[in-house]
Amino acid sequence: MNDELHGYFFEEIQPGMSASFAKTVTEADVMAFAGVSGDFNPVHINEEFASQTMFKGRIAHGMLSVGFISTVLGMKLPGPGCIYVNQNLKFKAPVRIGDTVTARVEVLSTVPEKKFVVLKTSCTVAGKTVIDGEATLMVPSKS
């Protein structure tokens, strides 16, 4: 790795490399995400409403947890300088306030002609997968 303003170069990335980031979701996180995104769905912010849903209580925005995947990609692997090209997601279970979400990425393959890196992306809570997906990123080259 070069310095804090530049992540891995394309030529340094190999299949099997991985990185992760973990954060406990707080009430403040959910409210800040609602404010920034404009998503005030009552399942996220209204306990009375949410208690009547299949979730039996409030859940965090799915895209809040996806943001933790973005943290790993943008700050660790490939790191600063990479650009999202694509992200596929499958939401498998809810995240609740107080849950610690661990976002993990693993390099699956590289596409040399485009300087793309394809990574498996996931979020887990207490070992249970809550989000599964795959991302493609454009990564700066040494040349």
Domain ranges of the chain: 10-138
User: What burial letters (b/e) apply to 52-84, b meaning 16+ CB within 10 Å?
Assistant: eeeeeebbbbbebbbbbbbbbbbebbbbbbbee
Amino acid at 123: C
The reply to whether CATH 3.30.9.10 applies to domain 10-138 is: no
Question: What 3-state class would DSSP assign to 19?
Answer: strand
> Which pLDDT value is given to residue 143?
82
Q: pLDDT tens per residue, the chain (143 residues)?
A: 446 678 999 999 999 999 999 999 999 999 999 999 999 999 999 999 999 999 999 999 999 999 999 999 999 999 999 999 999 999 999 999 999 999 999 999 999 999 999 999 999 999 999 999 999 999 999 98
User: What global pTM score does this model have?
Assistant: 0.93
Max CA separation in the chain (angstroms)? 57
Q: In whole angstroms, what is the distance from residue 97 CA to residue 29 CA? A: 9
Q: In whole angstroms, what is the distance from residue 56 CA to residue 34 CA? A: 20
The number of helices, as runs of H, and strands, as runs of E, in the chain is 4, 5
Which of 138, 131, 127 has its CA nearest to residue 89? 131
